[in-house]
Amino acid sequence: MVLLLVVAMGLSMTFGARDVGWSEIVAALYGQVETIGEAAVASRLPRTLLAILAGAALGLSGGVMQGLTRNPLADPGLLGVNAGAALAVVIGLAWFGIEDATLYIWAAILGAGLTAVAVYAIASLGRGGATPLRLALAGAVTTAALSSLTTAVVLPRGDIAGLVQSWTVGGVGGATRDQIVPVLPFLFLGLVIALLSARKLNLLALGDDTATGLGEKVALARAMAAVAAVLLCGATTAVCGPIGFVGLVVPHACRLLAGSDYRWLLPFSALGGAVLLTFADVFGRLVARPAELDVGIVTAFIGAPVFIWIVRRRKVGAL
Amino acid sequence: MSEPLRSDQRCLAAAGIARIRRKRARRRWCVWAVLLACLLAGVALTLMRGQSFTPPMTVLRALGGADVPGVGFTVRELRLPRAVVSILAGICFGLGGVAFQTMLRNPLASPDIIGISTGASAAAVFAIVVLSMSGPAVSIVAVVAGLGVALLIYALSWRRGVTGARLILVGIGLAAMLQSFTAYLLMRAPSWSLQEALRWMAGSVNGVQLNQALPLFIALLFFGGLILSCNRDLEALRMGDDIAEGLGVRLTATRVSVIVAAVGLVAFATAVSGPVAFVAFLSGPIAARLTSRNGSLLIPSALVGALLVLLGDYAGQFLLPARYPVGIVTGVLGAPYLVYLIIRDNKSGGAL
Amino acid sequence: MSSPSLLVHDLMAGYGERAVLDDINLTIPSGRNTAIVGANACGKSTLLRTLSRLLVPERGKVLLDGHSIHRLPARRLAQQLGLLPQSPIAPEGITVLDLVSRGRHPHQGLFARWSSADEAAVAEALEATRTTELAERAVEELSGGQRQRVWIAMALAQQTGVLLLDEPTTFLDIHHQIEVLDLLVDLNRMRGTTIVMVLHELNLAARYADILVAMAKGRIYAIGPPEKVLTEQMVREVFGLASRIIEDPITGKPMMIPLGRHVACEPSRDRVEEPTKNTPGAELRTWSDRHPAR
């Protein structure tokens, strides 16, 4: 896995609108920006870093969400959490005029958190609790409603329309070091909490009653896991915009490798997410040369078929 | 069954329940009449009020063809087409939406959520941005794509028969993919077609012509008739596939004809007005509350849909601080409805 | 109403690759009350689903009055063969009257209006299940037993000669279980409706059914009156359980008492057979003791 990640990083440095040689990469990593190739690499470095961070965060947050909701279809994008983060940021821009990057992130996390709770509440209404079907539907409905609200906020404000447009598709292109640094503490905190909650997720997987019987404080465990998931995907969305399906696909793939023990599954998901997003970013740069395909589109086109495959594989009763 | 009923007792019992049934039928007609009256009032309102107020008699004379200076054009060319298309599109969305919700037994499973409207919009944006099409050609592409996506969803969820749950989930998956495709197209769009595409995406009845209403009307007659003819089978489907089959409903035939009809309605309406958000989603549940689940929902939902689009458009034009297309108004209405779903007592949620 | 005959011929059925039922030949006695029993996953629900056309068999036929049920037009079949699945869904907010009226679906054409025959059938179904007073209530407000009666009323309104029920007593307490089974027996006796039900509870099946069908591993193990089918050997081979069959002191039907690990098998037999006066088990003799011929 780690090896794969290194390969992905290498590729991400090498390919782009312009291919560069190894010597240029090495030189650029030592800080030279004399040739065009070296400059290209210098701009690709933060981008690759961001892809790795965002991928890891999304993969991890997807894994935590799937464990938390005991639901194989949980994903920050599908559950509308990204849309919530986007709306919060847009409102912040349009009404409160926030510009500071940290405030951005706080707004996104707030939006993500509120949406996550709302979606889960809608899905758990009525008999039978939050089945995968209900959760996915509630997420889709919420996304639609939030997108309408976002459009309604933006429409009279021509001045921020361009800014918002880039929010509809997630990407890591054009990342700078200044953008990445403010999210680091949030991601780190999310990572720590997520890994701490792994053991609790193992118990939650057995059902609330059994977990209580085994001496776990279910409410606390849920809250912890939820905070971790929201921190991770909110912060990522604040920087990259909505990137869907990474959180869905990666934990499923990792379950094949690492089994269903969350203590192993979560770290694997983080690594897997980083690998997937980096590869997706490279792929997006390669197919549409000299333009690029945003990574959010690439992941949607990889993720949707996987999603449908998961749905088809499962028994009807389990939906 | 302690004793078999004597025939006079049986008559008495039958008369008793016949009375209940008549009472409920009367109430049902009442709701229909009220809805219809609201709709007519809405039409009158939109015909009379615009940037300027036109007295009712003048409106009538203008509609009758009399050439009232300054008013004839406004009423006949601006307000009337808008009202007619709003109503037709609203009926289409309402019928299509409630047919899906009933068939899939889930109030959240309306065609705008499970990918059909998304498919139509993605195709339309593609036609506008990449193929530089405009006018009726875009509509045709949208209709074809809507039907195509529905077919694809049905095929992908086929695994020894189709179940509602799988259909919904596959639809959501495809919708997510199509959305990001649309977003990508919009980002890459040159600014002249971006405007057109955005207007289309938002769902709007701005500047519609009366001749656009004709295909919509024909589609409504054809597909709407098909749905109404399936009404009884749809009602049986609400009790689950097994019971419905036990009652002699041919599952596949009913499903296919309902899907074709509902998708046809939604796609044609989308082609004219764009995907007016949430009308298909909201009409059924609103109608269900209004009728307190008395009888079939098809007709009330159609009326509610028409009302939503008509009034949403009016509100977007004149009641709000900025001018919004109708799709934004109805879209924003959807959010509080969701909140209402949460607040409402927890007993339902699973069914329409 | 004369009951149509229901016949299963050389049936093989299952889900995809996995054959659940194999080589089933069965004649459902018409006008009788038949219960299908068997261990979990023995194929009894699958058999009922095949009988009720919900599942298309891989091979073989289900014949209703000589016609293959999978070929008959759906509506005509539904006029003769009613069905109540295990946990039916009541649409939100539907009233009892509306739900029971849905049972008339197969009798109505595309544009047919609600007729007085429809009304009479619904009235009778409500009356028979003692749910007339509930007619205006919403189904979801009812208790489990009432709700099950309403569903049976819907099936009654369908006025079919054959009624198939998949575990009609699950999730009901013992009082309501008896109530539902009594109702089904009434129905069978007064209308001559052929009833086929899957039942979990062996003793209730033996008591209420005229005919027991015991299934094991996708095949029919035995069919016949409860006295013939419910034997210690059957319980051992079908359920893998050691038991004793005694005679129900009230109805005279056979009754199964599971032994389990904590009752020593042989000594208990001695104790039961020993006619000691003051032990409560004294009068209870095993079925095989009474009928040594079998």
Q: Is C25 found in the same domain as C163? A: yes
Contact pairs from chain A to chain B, CB under 8 Å = 153
Whether residue C271 has pLDDT greater than 60: no
Would you list the domain boundaries of chain B?
Answer: 7-343
**Homologous superfamily of domain range B7-343:** ABC transporter involved in vitamin B12 uptake, BtuC (1.10.3470.10)
- For residue C112, being part of any structural domain is answered with yes
Average pLDDT over residues A112-141: 77
Percent of chain B scored above 90 by pLDDT?
Answer: 14
Measured in angstroms, the CA of B168 and the nearest CA of chain C are apart by: 19
Rounded Cα distance, C8 and C220, in Å: 12
The secondary structure of B27-43 as a DSSP string is HHHHHHHHHHHHHHHHH
Q: Is C283 found in the same domain as C144? A: no
Rounded Cα distance, C222 and C207, in Å: 17
> Which residue bears the tokens 């498919």?
B119
With b meaning 16 or more CB within 10 Å and e meaning fewer, what string describes C19-55?
bbbbebebebebbbbbbbbbeeebbbbbbbbbbbbbb
Specify the number of domains making up chain C.
2
Query: Which pLDDT score is estimated for B127?
Result: 85
- The mean-pLDDT minimum among A54-58, A271-275, B47-51, B84-88 falls in B47-51
A245 token code pair: 């399906």
Question: Pick the residue with more confidence: A66 or A287?
Answer: A66
Query: Which pLDDT score is estimated for B345?
Result: 43
Q: Is C146 found in the same domain as C19? A: yes
Domain housing C292: 239-294
Of C230, C252, C275, the one marking the end of a domain is C230
- For residue C1, being part of any structural domain is answered with no
Query: Which pLDDT score is estimated for A12?
Result: 65
- For residue C22, being part of any structural domain is answered with yes
Rounded Cα distance, C270 and C289, in Å: 12
Rounded Cα distance, C209 and C35, in Å: 6
Rounded Cα distance, B206 and B85, in Å: 10
Rounded Cα distance, B242 and B240, in Å: 6
Q: Does B105 touch chain C (CB under 8 A)?
A: yes
Whether residue B71 has pLDDT greater than 60: yes
Q: Is C209 found in the same domain as C105? A: yes
Closest Cα partner for B150 from B182, B112, B183? B112
Whether residue B262 has pLDDT greater than 80: yes
Contact criterion met (CB below 8 Å) for C78 and B247? yes
ipTM above 0.95, yes or no: no
Of C212, C230, C248, the one marking the end of a domain is C230
Query: Which pLDDT score is estimated for B1?
Result: 42
> What residues of chain C lie within 8 A of the CB of B246, using their CB?
52, 54, 78, 81-85, 155, 158
Give the pLDDT confidence of C90-126 residue by residue, as tens digits. Answer: 877 788 888 888 888 888 766 667 788 888 888 888 8
Secondary structure string (H, E, C) spanning chain A:
CHHHHHHHHHHHHHCCCCCCCHHHHHHHHCCCCCCHHHHHHHHHHHHHHHHHHHHHHHHHHHHHHHHHCCCCCCCCCCCCHHHHHHHHHHHHHHHHCCCCHHHHHHHHHHHHHHHHHHHHHHHHCCCCCCCHHHHHHHHHHHHHHHHHHHHHHHCCCHHHHHHHHCCCCCCCCCCCHHHHHHHHHHHHHHHHHHHHCHHHHHHHCCCHHHHHHCCCCHHHHHHHHHHHHHHHHHHHHHHHCCCCCHHHHHHHHHHHHHCCCHHHHHHHHHHHHHHHHHHHHHHHHHHCCCCCCCHHHHHHHHHHHHHHHHHHHCCHHHC
Rounded Cα distance, B16 and A315, in Å: 46
Rg (CA), chain A: 20
Of B247, B292, B351, the CB nearest to C91: B351
Chains that touch A (3 or more CB pairs under 8 A): B
Q: Residue B248 and residue C88: Cβ atoms within 8 Å?
A: no
Average pLDDT over all residues of chain A? 78
Contact criterion met (CB below 8 Å) for B94 and B298? no
β-sheet bridge partners, residue C194? C162
Mutation target for B interface from C18, C124, C159: give the one with most B CBs within 10 A.
C124
Query: Which pLDDT score is estimated for B95?
Result: 94
- For residue C217, being part of any structural domain is answered with yes
Q: Is C278 found in the same domain as C142? A: no
SS3 state of residue C122: helix
Give the pLDDT confidence of B39-49 residue by residue, as tens digits. Answer: 999 888 888 87
Of C230, C255, C274, the one marking the end of a domain is C230
Q: Is C273 found in the same domain as C159? A: no
Give the pLDDT confidence of C200-248 residue by residue, as tens digits. Answer: 889 999 999 999 999 988 889 999 999 999 999 999 999 988 889 999 8
Give B64: exposed, middle or buried? Use CB within 10 Å, 0-12, 13-18, 19+.
exposed
Query: Which pLDDT score is estimated for C56?
Result: 84
SS3 state of residue C37: strand
Query: Which pLDDT score is estimated for A38?
Result: 62
Q: Is C199 found in the same domain as C78? A: yes
Query: Which pLDDT score is estimated for B344?
Result: 60
> What residues of chain B lie within 8 A of the CB of A144, using their CB?
112-113, 277-278, 281, 331, 334
What are the residues whose beta carbons fall under 8 Å from the beta carbon of B269, sequence distance 6 or more?
B88, B89, B92, B93, B96, B216, B219, B276
Query: Which pLDDT score is estimated for A9?
Result: 66
Average pLDDT over all residues of chain C? 82
- Do you find a cis peptide bond into A290, omega within 30 degrees of 0? yes
Give the pLDDT confidence of B199-238 residue by residue, as tens digits. Answer: 777 777 777 788 888 888 999 999 999 999 888 888 888 8
Query: Which pLDDT score is estimated for A142?
Result: 84
Query: Which pLDDT score is estimated for B227?
Result: 92
Rounded Cα distance, A89 and A185, in Å: 19
Q: Is C133 found in the same domain as C176? A: yes
Q: Is C267 found in the same domain as C200? A: no
SS3 state of residue B82: helix
Measured in angstroms, the CA of A25 and the nearest CA of chain B are apart by: 30
Q: Does C182 touch chain B (CB under 8 A)?
A: no
Q: Is C154 found in the same domain as C48? A: yes
Measured in angstroms, the CA of B18 and the nearest CA of chain C are apart by: 7
Give the pLDDT confidence of A246-255 residue by residue, as tens digits. Answer: 888 888 888 8
Residue type, B134: S
Q: Residue B248 and residue C129: Cβ atoms within 8 Å?
A: no
> What residues of chain B lie within 8 A of the CB of A319, using their CB?
163, 165-166, 169
Q: Does B109 touch chain A (CB under 8 A)?
A: yes
pLDDT band of residue C293 (cuts 50, 70, 90) is very low
Give the pLDDT confidence of A180-200 residue by residue, as tens digits. Answer: 888 888 889 999 998 888 888
Q: Is 3.40.50.2000 the CATH number for A2-318?
A: no
What are the residues whose beta carbons fall under 8 Å from the beta carbon of A283, sequence distance 6 or more?
A293, A298
> What residues of chain B lie within 8 A of the CB of A165, using their CB?
186-187
Q: Residue A127 and residue B177: Cβ atoms within 8 Å?
A: no
Query: Which pLDDT score is estimated for B348?
Result: 46
Q: Is C279 found in the same domain as C163? A: no
Q: Which CATH number do you get for residue C196?
A: 3.40.50.300
Average pLDDT over residues B149-174: 82
Task: Name the DSSP letter for residue C105.
Answer: G
- For residue C192, being part of any structural domain is answered with yes
Closest Cα partner for C120 from B138, B315, B7? B7
Q: Does C53 touch chain B (CB under 8 A)?
A: yes
Average pLDDT over residues C43-53: 87
Nearest CA in chain A to B170: A308
